Amino acid sequence: MTRRFPEALPPPVALEEEILRRWQEEDTFRRSLEATRNGRPFVFYEGPPTANGRPGIHHVLARAIKDAVARFRTMQGRYVPRIAGWDTHGLPVEIEAEKELGLSGKSDIEAYGIDRFNAVCRASVLRYKEEWERFSTRIGYWLDYDHPYITFEPRYIESVWWALGQIADRGFLYRAPKVVPYCPRCGTPLSSHELALGYRDVADPSLYVLFPLLDDSGAPTDEALLVWTTTPWTLVANVAVALRPEFLYAVVRWQGWRLVVVRDRVDALFGADADVLATAPGSAWVGRRYQRPFEWLPLPDDPPGARDRACRVYPADFVGAEEGTGLVHIAPAFGADDYALGQAHGLPMLQPVDDRGCFRPEVPEVGGLFVKDADDRLVEWLRATGRVFRAGREVHSYPHCWRCRSPLLYMARESWFLRTTAVREQLLDNNRQIDWHPPEIGEGRFGEWLANNVDWAISRNRYWGTPLPFWVCDANPDHVEVLGSFAELADRVGPLPPDFDPHRPAIDRFTWPCRHGDGVMRRTPEVLDVWFDSGAMPYAQWHYPFEHRDDFARHFPADFIAEGVDQTRGWFYSLLAISTLLGLGPAYRAVVVNDLVLDPEGQKMSKSRGNVVDPWEALATFGADAIRWYLLSVSQPWVPKRFDPDGVEDVQRRFFDTLRHTYRFLALYANLENWSPERPTPPPETRPLLDRWLRSRLHSTLADLTAEFERYELTAAARRLADFVVDELSNWYVRRSRDRFWNADGPEGAAAFATLYEALVAVARMMAPLAPFHGDWLHRALTGASVHLASWPCVDEAARDARLEERMAVARALVGLGRAAREQAGVRVRQPLPALYVTGPGVADLPAEILGIIAEELNVRRVEPVADDRRWARWAARPNFRALGARFGRLTPAVAAAIRALTDETLRAFRAGATVELEVDGQRIPLEESFLELVQEPYGELIVASDGRWAVALDPTITPELRAEGLARELVNRVQRLRKDAGLDVADRIRLGIGAPPELAEALVAHRDFIARETLALDLVVGPPPLVGEYAAVREVDLDGVRAQIGLQRVSHSSR
């Protein structure tokens, strides 16, 4: 029995839900893995999301990229395990737990109890795990959620300890006091790459303050250093001023003061009429003493002599003259440059701020205030003492905590660091081995970040995280033990319990005597930066090196990863930094970066703006495939893109609806003709020209698509496939071949069915990585099997015919111009015309069969190639007066006249690249393209159209004979519409009646065979109106201004 093709396609969302059920029932994902298990691995790492937040519409883009690549490689026979992962530690989880418990800050957490708090973190961390899994399933993103890596699991943590131990053994771990970005709300320092994630524009103080210089007796003088700062709160801890000794500085009179400022900033600060008393290099002030703006805190004499070295001017190469005053106040506790200068010169360090970012209670005026809230009060205090030159506010980019959004403070803290600066060159060399998409991120944003990277601060003064496996002697902090496994801990403290949990606070209770003295080894209280957690996933997902050594070896490095651009200084960096510190080279070979998904107006989505797109609503409206295709095709992944519902609908209409109609056409006629792919088909090389052309284009498209997928050019792949389906398969091949599908038993019909079937099967496979639902439905409808268990098609080089493709491309270009000429003439395509003249590259080589295709497409009696367009038109030049006026002024009219006088031959030579000169007023002026506009002026009645390469001339003459044929074609069109509206099947035979006035009736009778054949009319009656006889459907129509009646009656049903 001949297999029937399903003709009714479900709506897109229903289609996807049907396929989801099939995948689940058939366990398709597992079967695809089993089918390729012996294939060469293609390694993909999943960047772990935090499951205590919901997925958003932007996650569709990143996951569509990853899924498309994984499906493509699977179809190529590669083994692509897709291990899911969950990022479960860190501040995001702690902040949510604080909100849930009504806590605020570390003191509340410690009062509540670290053990109870961490229990809430553990319980909440996978709150939305099921929604994430459901989301991934719904968008067709296949991941192995049955065996995920979870960063809080002991086996994962043990591998992280191993990595830290290895890095320490290589000499890249140290502890030191450094100025680091510090979040007072979270009570912990951040790493430099975390810092980059949270910059926001804010209005901060801009204060110019006077520091009076002292004389030899220590008394203030009328000479003062003018210092600029945007952090007035740090002035409380000031101990020095820095300048550039080689810069030129000026002394400027101002309101009784002699102010010292870099010379390059005098005009900006004092105006052009500034009273400059003297100038000297900055070195003239080095060593001078000054009076602190706030003398509220005593200066400690630590290190010895520090008190005497304080409150002096020091040279520094970090001082600039582009803004400010060329004088920088130094507070070693609150700036990296300040700290380094303080260390270099043995300066004291004042620390008036506590861990909450508040001034200590003993600080006058501002004790207990958050430092940022104290700025205005400090400025007013300085103003009252006559020390303010200028004060205001200035908008600038300032770092905020990327999780809680609190402003960060730069504070000196003792932290644990990884010495990434020691492997800077290895980082850069490893990065050069990575295939970045786009390359400019790897070379620019990421490469520059690596070139300027600082040591990685890995310790966090928090609670829910991987505990640092560093035990420090309480008697001598130089005695440190770094443990790289739980076994090493057991060696020191005895057997660990079977349910051993390495988290705080239990881990903090493990101690042992120091091997080097009388002290006790206690764990340092910090936890690990979560970016190290996620960056260690290549090893920890396998519990390497404690288990799965072979699995790790087969799955390192990754062949491919893909995440958002924000991961440039996040996961992309931590993966590379850890693998480099371990001496293992790059952790990934290729990376695709995606940028933001914006709202339809190009605004960033945010809850405050109310423009966040609910992904579930979007999926219920459009389905996953249309959204995936839109996001992948609208622009390259690394370009910010708007989520525009109109754009998604356009994708649905242009690509998916066209494909659905094309498939339904095949299904409809295959069922009518009892055709199936098992029937004998003509060999491809013997098929008609149009079939050979489509097969050539199919395999050329396949070759291009394969290369684009392998280069991760998913946007190009999606666009190329859509163009093939819409422009070549549907709008050219199927439309040109419709009549051939009425006879599957004849060689032409058999070839057409086989060719269209082969093309649609190939399209189903080519689209499967990008649109997995529609690709699978189409493939099942055509073959009965899932496309995701099928192989990627192989390019048949024998099917490719470059010359045939070139000739058909010329034909299609000429048809496009011919249609434009018809539109210009106002003549419908159904009206035959006598001739079309064509010229351009390759036209002379077009065989008669392709000329015949052009003639049929444009409904002209003949197509005649000519050597060039001289036969029907001349070239003329129109002066561009705007360009001429700007160039020639009063000579413009004369130049314009010379341009208008240029001959057809001269202009043809100019178009071909020849140099042409104008003679104007005794001058020879070389002609330029901007001087003129070239236009074609046709001879006689011909209608001309050109695109610069090809040109056509259409003869619009309509003879009585041509008009009669045109009327017959118009009538056929009206009858076909009536057939459809009357609910007839395409194969139903009819009785047709036409009521028309004599002139129209005569024209129609002359073409009665054509009308009967095209409308499947077994009986055709033409007479005067009104219609005589019984017809089930009757309609009055207008045929080129003449009224007529048509009526039809079904006389036999199709055998469907």
The span from the CA of 1025 to the CA of 995, in Å, is 4
Alpha carbons 464 and 527: distance in angstroms, whole number: 7
Which residue in this structure is represented by tokens 């506009």?
933
Preceding omega of 298 cis (within 30 degrees of 0): no
Q: Is 178 in the active site? A: no
Q: Which of 86, 571, 638, 693 is catalytic?
A: 571
Closest CA to 557 of 578, 525, 587, 584: 587
Q: Is 607 a catalytic residue?
A: yes
Cα distances (Å, whole numbers) of residue 573 to 436, 568, 1011: 13, 6, 71
Is 675 among the catalytic positions?
no
603, 606, 608, 609 alpha-carbon torsion, rounded to 10°: 30
Sequence-distant (6+) residues with CB within 8 A of 333 are 179, 237, 339, 349, 350, 351, 353, 411, 412
Q: What is the CA radius of gyration of the chain?
A: 40
Q: How far apart are CA 476 and CA 452, in angstroms?
A: 34
**604 catalytic residue (yes or no):** yes
| Of 12, 48, 205, 772, catalytic | 48
Angle at 546 between CA 543 and CA 550, to 5 degrees: 80
Asked if 485 and 496 count as a contact pair (C-beta separation under 8 A), the reply is: no
Q: Give, for 480, the enclosing helix (H) or strand (E).
A: strand 480-482
DSSP 8-class letter at 987:
T
Count of CB atoms situated within 10 Å of the CB of 989: 16
Buried b (16+ CB within 10 A) or exposed e, 448-466: ebbeebbbbbbbbbbbbbb
Which ranges in 113-153 belong to alpha helices (H)? 114-124, 129-138
Q: How many Cα neighbours within 13 Å face the side chain of 287?
A: 3
Catalytic site residue from 201, 298, 304, 607? 607
Alpha carbons within 13 angstroms on the beta-carbon side of residue 454 total 14
Tokens standing for residue 971: 């009538």
Instruction: State the DSSP code for 509.
Output: G
Tokens of 341: 């200068």
Q: Which H or E run includes 373?
A: helix 371-384
CA distance 104 to 121: 15
The answer to whether 147 and 156 have CB atoms below 8 angstroms apart is no
Active-site residue flag, 87: yes
Rounded-to-integer distance, Cα 456 and Cα 795, Å? 49
129 is catalytic: no
Catalytic residue (one of 161, 436, 471, 531)? 531
Active site residue 48: yes
Rounded CA-CA distance 181/460 in Å is 11
Phi, psi of 607 (to 5 degrees): -65, -35
Catalytic residue among 275, 439, 604, 1040: 604
Q: How many residues does the chain have?
A: 1056
β-bridge pairing 943-946 and 641-642: unpaired
Say which residues have a Cβ less than 8 Å from residue 1010's Cβ, sequence separation at least 6: 968, 972
Nearest residue to 461 (alpha-carbon basis) of 112, 106, 850, 730: 106
Beta carbons within 8 Å of 591's beta carbon, 6+ residues apart: 434, 435, 436, 437, 442, 560, 561, 562, 563, 572
Question: How does DSSP classify residue 831?
Answer: S
Residue 205 token pair: 């103080």
* Residue from 426, 567, 652, 1045 carrying the catalytic annotation: 567
Residues pairing with 459 in the sheet: 528
Q: How far is CA 743 from CA 277, 343, 749, 757, in A?
A: 103, 92, 5, 15
- SS3 letters for 875-944? EEEEECHHHHHHHHHHHHHHHHHHHHCCCHHHHHHHHCCCCCEEEECCEEEECCHHHEEEEEEECCCCEE
Cis peptide bond N-terminal to 545, omega within 30 = yes
Catalogue the active-site residues: 48, 87, 531, 567, 571, 604, 607
